[in-house]
Amino acid sequence: MSDQPAAPAPQPSVPQMQIEIPANLEAIYTNFALITHSPSEIVIDFARALPNMPKTRVYARILMTPMHAKLLLRALADNLRKYEAQYGEITVPTNLADQLFKPPKPE
């Protein structure tokens, strides 16, 4: 018997996924999301709402399973934690929707 500790068992390798981002992929700015669901999927519609504009349009629609939506939620929370650790806490004003979408006051 040896006094040497046993070497740790090798970990199975996780296959690396290659992700292709098309050169002509257009980035879409969004500040508004509509989220709906059915028993089998989550639907997120991304739109851009502008002040004093009563209408907007959806620029992208993402469909995913509830499990993938939960994984996305975890990934977003993790990335926001890292962001705030580097840049400081993101403060969300109270009554944000009222500030963004309230009709202008008549003068």
* pLDDT score recorded for residue 92: 83
Contacts 24+ apart (CB under 8 A), 99-103: 100/49, 100/51, 101/49, 103/52
pTM of the model: 0.70
Domain boundaries, the chain: 32-100
pLDDT tens by residue, 15-49: 888 999 999 999 999 998 999 999 999 999 999 98
What the block records as the tokens of 48 is 């851009």
Bridge partners of residue 58, in order along the sequence: 47
Most confidently predicted of 6-10, 29-33, 50-54, 61-65: 61-65
How far is residue 93's CA from residue 24's CA, in Å, rounded to a whole number?
Answer: 36
Rg (Cα) of the chain, in Å, rounded?
Answer: 22
